[in-house]
Amino acid sequence: MKNDIILSGVGGQGILSIAAAIGLAAVSNDLFLKQSEVHGMSQRGGDVQSHLRISDKPVFSDLIPYGKADLIISVEPMESLRYLPWLSKEGWLVTNAIPFINIPDYPVVGDIVNEIKKVKNHIIIDADTIAKEVGSTRAGNMVILGAASRFIDMSEASILGAIKKLFGRKGEAIVEINLKAFRAGKEYSAVLRS
Amino acid sequence: MERLLLLGDEAIAQAALDAGLSGMYAYPGTPSTEIMEYIQSSKDASDRNIHRDWSSNEKTAIEAALGMSYAGKRAMVAMKHVGLNVAADGFINSAMTGINGGLIVVSADDPSMHSSQNEQDSRFYGKFAMVPCFEPSNQQEAYEMIFDAFEASEKYKLPVLFRITTRLAHSRASIRLRRVIPEKKLTLPSDPVQFVLLPAIARKKYKVLLSSYESLRYDNRISKYNLFKDGRYRELGIIACGIAYNYLMENISNTDIDFPVLKISAYPFPKDLIIDLTSRCKEVLILEEGAPFIEESLRGILDNGLRIYGRLDGTVPRDGELNPSIVARALGLPVSYGEDVPSIVKMRPPSFCKGCGHADMFNALIEALKPFGPGRVFSDIGCYTLGALPPYNAINSCVDMGASVTMAVGAADAGLFPTVAVIGDSTFTHSGMTGLLDAVVKKSPVTIIISDNSTTGMTGGQKSQATGRLEQICEGLGVLKEHLKVLVPLHKNHDENVRIMRAEFEYKDVSVIIASRECIQTATKRKRTDASNE
């Protein structure tokens, strides 16, 4: 078993909570894991990415080689395209539909969607709206993780356990919203498949 | 044994705690910041009352750590690579004095300059100071090495350099912990003049240092991290240093590529193992994260022996960090590649946060400077360096910590008037104060704008030594009260701020303007914490 995942977004959007949830689940499954993060200057509204590698065998490189990622999980649509050189031919791209526009030359959203549709395996999900429906716009990340979860080779129970652990400090209500968000994302993704 | 999911930085911090650390010293700098942050948030560190306050800069940090070592206790100091330049005086001479309690100096290099001004390789400093240098290849090894580094430090009575790079510092892995070692007791050095580098004493100590450096090579605590594994195919031998070993193994583990491999993770490098490898192979490939440190030694000036592939002949790019694809190419293996990035994807550079006070300060500065013309704003290291980017294009320099003040003074010496320095509060107390003293003493016609957000912002909001002290410091250094202005960089104060700035630019002696408004990030964080505590 081996999943090489690239997480992408814009600094401040909190892609690391997705990374942390998958990471905690991997540890609970006794898997090997490496997860490289971006800290420092880029966190100020620049593009950020994280390479997350989980495997049942030791993982050497902290970085995923080009063309070898099984999955791109992006909380921002244009950012999902920035990492296509890493995506394998059979890999999946799962991205939020809602753009984060903080540059003057942001492309036309329709053009971005067209480019995403050129990727053989892709899911575009309006995570912001779904998150709002389950109770908090801030749970969008867990919606996207839910939508991507069927491409991650770990049990749902272990990922739900990780979400509980991750948000546990913030209280029962926040945990519940994030679990709901994860399930809603997963459901959306399942409907697309059928 | 317990396992934790830790960043490389955090693994180093946890290891130091487990190895009996008594004092942690640091100034924030990417990618080293999380070492101190981890210790500050550790319950264990708090229960043991381990020293864990930020220092004003890397020089004060390393000297304080040396003081703790003098008193017999284990100390660690952490900084980014360019911080070691600031700390170099203390670092090099600490190899001369030697240590009492174990002393580890962590220097976190940033090849590819993700968040830095250069990509210098700290291993040169290890050789320069003639101290042991460790370069872990992964997070678990980093954890283990800290224990050996403290032991090696105490056995040879030398500080130890611990060199990491961005990818190790900021990548998480699951770490197996060891049993905790108790802290050392307060003990004075047995030799009362050990730390007195009078020339007569220093000359003797230097001879000791020279001889101990050679013996380090064969010490087990160092040599056990340098591993030679023979291979079936001897056309090529491979030397892989630190994290480069991971990229090599990513490409060759579970394949039939079976070349002799020498993994180097501790220095001075193992001459015997290098000779073992080179004597049995026709050609050698050297993989190093950072500069061609070993490669240059192996080639020497003549470079007429063995065929060597590495950064100097272009097999590996001369600059930038390594990755598994670069190493695959160096090995002559096929490199897979996904689709190209579509042309509609635009650059997204970092920018000021919405509501940032630096932005309002720059808006006022740009307007205030209009009558004087371009090319006169010297700036510094911090979030406000983003003032170099559009739409501001407001600064003309960013060189090193504190250089805004001194470069403005130098340009004024040359006849440029007015000159302006823009420096952050934490950078000012790091290295700006001494430059301001120079300016005051020679009545330099400069205006220093301290853009005070009451935190060390770029690295994520660490405590600033300047908070609440800036006016006192400036007055104490001799800035006249009537030319020490405090303003609030807000849009509604724009016209007033422009007027104040312009008046001070016209003044032909030192002015200081403190533009003070809390960082929007730390303010939000603080409000959230306050709310949840109520």
Res. B533: pLDDT tops 70: no
Q: Are residues B195 and B233 in the same domain?
A: no
- Whether B52 and B136 map to the same domain: the answer is yes
Q: What is the CATH number of the domain that holds A122?
A: 3.40.920.10
In terms of Cβ atoms closer than 10 Å to its own Cβ (0-12, 13-18, 19+), residue A109 is middle
How many degrees, rounded to 5, is the angle at CA B264 between CA B102 and CA B79?
45
Residue ranges of A 9-48 with Cβ closer than 8 A to chain B = 10-12, 23-24, 27, 32-47
Paired with A4 in beta bridges are A53
pLDDT confidence of A11, banded at 50, 70, 90?
Answer: confident
CA–CA separation, B440 and B412 (whole Å)? 13
Residues B21, B85 share a domain: yes
Shared domain for B164 and B265, answered yes or no, is: no
Minimum Cα–Cα distance from B247: chain A residue: A61
- Asked whether residue B397 is assigned to any structural domain, the reply reads yes
pLDDT band at A160 (very low <50, low <70, confident <90, very high): very high
Rounded to 5 degrees, φ, ψ at B478 are 110, 10
Q: Report the distance separating Cα A1 and Cα A70, nearest Å.
A: 12
Domain-terminating residue out of B218, B238, B272: B218
Question: How far does the CA of residue B18 sit from the closest CA of chain A (Å)?
Answer: 22
What's the CA angle centered on B13, arms B7 and B17, to 5 degrees? Answer: 140
pLDDT band at B399, cuts 50/70/90? very high
Q: What is the CATH number of the domain that holds B279?
A: 3.40.50.920
Residues B124 and B24 in one domain: yes
* Together in a domain, B231 and B115: no
Average per-residue pLDDT for chain A: 94
Q: Measured between CB atoms, which of A24, A63, A106 is closest to B167?
A: A63
Q: Where are the beta strands (DSSP E) in B338-480?
A: 377-379, 397-398, 419-424, 446-452
Give the pLDDT score at B534: 58
Q: Are residues B233 and B113 in the same domain?
A: no
Does residue B312 share a domain with residue B372?
Answer: no
Q: Is residue B121 part of a domain?
A: yes
Q: Verify whether the Cβ–Cβ distance A84 to B351 is below 8 Å.
A: no
Whole-prediction pTM value?
Answer: 0.96
The C-alpha of B352 sits at a distance from chain A's nearest C-alpha, in angstroms, of 7
Whether B533 is in a domain gets the answer no
Give residue B48's pLDDT.
98
Domain membership of residue A20 as a residue range: 2-193
Q: How many domains does chain B have?
A: 3
Give the C-alpha separation, B234 to B323, whole Å: 25
Q: Band of the pLDDT at B529, cuts 50, 70, 90?
A: confident
Helix and strand element counts for chain A (H, E): 7, 6
In this structure, the answer to whether residues B69 and B41 fall within a common structural domain is yes
* pLDDT tens for each residue of B21-51: 999 999 999 999 999 999 999 999 999 999 9
pLDDT at position B180 is 96
Identify the pLDDT of residue B3. 84
Which amino acid type is present at position B403?
A
pLDDT, tens digit (0-9, with 9 covering 90-100), for B321-337:
999 999 999 999 999 99
| CATH code where residue B506 lies | 3.40.50.970
Q: How far apart are CA B124 and CA B133, in angstroms?
A: 10
Q: Single out the residue of B171, B143, B343 nearest to residue A64, CA to CA.
A: B171
Model confidence pLDDT, tens digit, residues B122-146: 999 999 999 999 999 999 999 999 9
Residue B75 lies in a domain: yes
Q: How confident is the model at residue B530 (pLDDT cuts 50, 70, 90)?
A: confident
Is B143 in the same domain as B232? no
Q: Which domain holds residue B179?
A: 3-218
Specify whether B30 is located in the same domain as B142. yes
Paired with A121 in beta bridges are A92
Domain count, chain A: 1
Q: Is the distance from CB of A102 to CB of A44 less than 8 angstroms?
A: no
Mean pLDDT, residues A89-115: 96
Q: Does A122 touch chain B (CB under 8 A)?
A: no
ipTM of this predicted complex? 0.94
Asked if A113 is an interface residue toward chain B (Cβ–Cβ < 8 A), one would say no
Same domain membership, residue B149 and residue B131 = yes
Of residues A103 and A44, more confidence is placed in A103
Of A139, A126, A129, the C-alpha closest to A177 is A139
Asked, for residue B434, whether it belongs to a domain, the answer is: yes
